[in-house]
C-alpha cells in the first residue's frame, strides 16, 4: 500500500428521492470485487440509495453491459466494478485500455452519472488492499464519485 493516506470523503447529500443505482460488476476476482461492493453498499446505504447488482463475465464486458443498461434505463446512476491483475502477457494492457476507453466514451457521450471502480493492479495483494473494509476501499470511492454526479445532475435539472 502506498504511504499516501486516502482522504476522508463524506457521503454526498443527493436531493430528491432515493437514487436508484445499478452496479455492474465483473466478479472474476470474486473476493476483491465483493469487498468493493461492500464498500459501495455502505456508502449507498448512508445516502438512502436503492441498489441493484448484475454480473458480467469479466472486465472487458463492462462497457457493453453499461450500454445495454442505458438502453433499458430506469436508474439514476451506474457503478462499474472489476479487477484486472497484470500477468506475463500483453493481455492486461489491452484489456485495461479497452475497458477504460469504452467507459470514457460512454461517459463523455451521454453524461450519465457514473462511478468507475476498475482496479488495475500488479498483484492480487494490491487488489485486496484496495478492496478491504477500510478508507482505502475503491468501491466506496467510486460510489462517492457516483453520488456526487447524481447530485450534480439533479441540481442542474439534468435527466
The model's pLDDT over 62-91, given as tens digits with 9 standing for 90+, comes to 999 999 999 999 999 999 999 999 998 899
37 and 138 Cβ atoms separated by less than 8 Å: no
Position 8 confidence tier, pLDDT thresholds 50, 70, 90: confident
Show which residues are catalytic. 91
Q: Which H or E element spans position 72?
A: helix 62-72
What is the distance between the alpha carbons of residues 104 and 129, in angstroms, rounded to a whole number?
A: 25
114: DSSP letter: E
Residue 60 in marked binding region: yes
Architecture of the domain whose range is 25-155: 3-Layer(aba) Sandwich (3.40)
> Grid coordinates in use for 140?
466506496
Residue 83 in marked binding region: yes
Task: Give me the DSSP letters along 20-68.
Answer: EEEEEE-GGGHHHHHHHHHHHHHHHHHTT-EEEEEE-SSGGGHHHHHHH
Residue 85 in marked binding region: yes
Give me the pLDDT at residue 1, please: 46
110 and 145 Cβ atoms separated by less than 8 Å: no
Residue 84 in marked binding region: yes
37 Cβ contact list (under 8 Å, min separation 6): 23, 25, 53, 81, 139
Q: What is the pLDDT of residues 88-128, one digit of tens each?
A: 889 999 999 999 999 999 999 999 999 999 999 999 999 99
Longest CA–CA span in the chain (Å) reads 48
Amino acid at each position: 500500500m502506498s504511504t499516501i493516506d486516502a482522504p476522508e470523503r463524506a457521503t454526498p447529500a443527493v436531493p430528491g428521492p432515493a437514487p436508484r443505482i445499478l452496479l455492474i460488476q465483473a466478479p472474476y476476482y470474486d473476493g476483491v470485487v465483493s469487498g468493493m461492493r461492500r464498500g459501495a453498499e455502505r456508502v449507498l446505504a448512508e445516502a438512502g440509495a436503492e441498489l441493484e447488482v448484475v454480473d458480467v463475465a469479466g472486465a472487458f464486458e463492462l462497457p457493453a453491459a453499461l450500454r445495454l443498461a442505458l438502453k433499458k434505463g430506469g436508474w439514476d446512476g451506474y457503478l462499474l466494478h472489476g479487477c484486472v491483475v497484470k500477468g506475463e502477457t500483453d493481455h492486461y494492457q489491452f484489456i485495461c485500455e479497452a475497458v477504460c476507453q469504452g467507459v470514457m466514451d460512454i461517459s463523455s457521450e451521454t453524461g450519465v452519472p457514473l462511478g468507475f471502480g476498475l482496479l488495475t493492479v500488479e498483484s492480487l495483494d494490491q487488489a485486496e488492499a484496495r478492496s478491504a473494509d477500510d478508507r482505502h476501499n475503491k468501491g466506496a470511492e467510486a460510489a462517492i464519485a457516483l453520488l456526487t454526479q447524481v447530485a450534480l445532475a439533479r441540481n442542474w435539472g439534468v435527466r
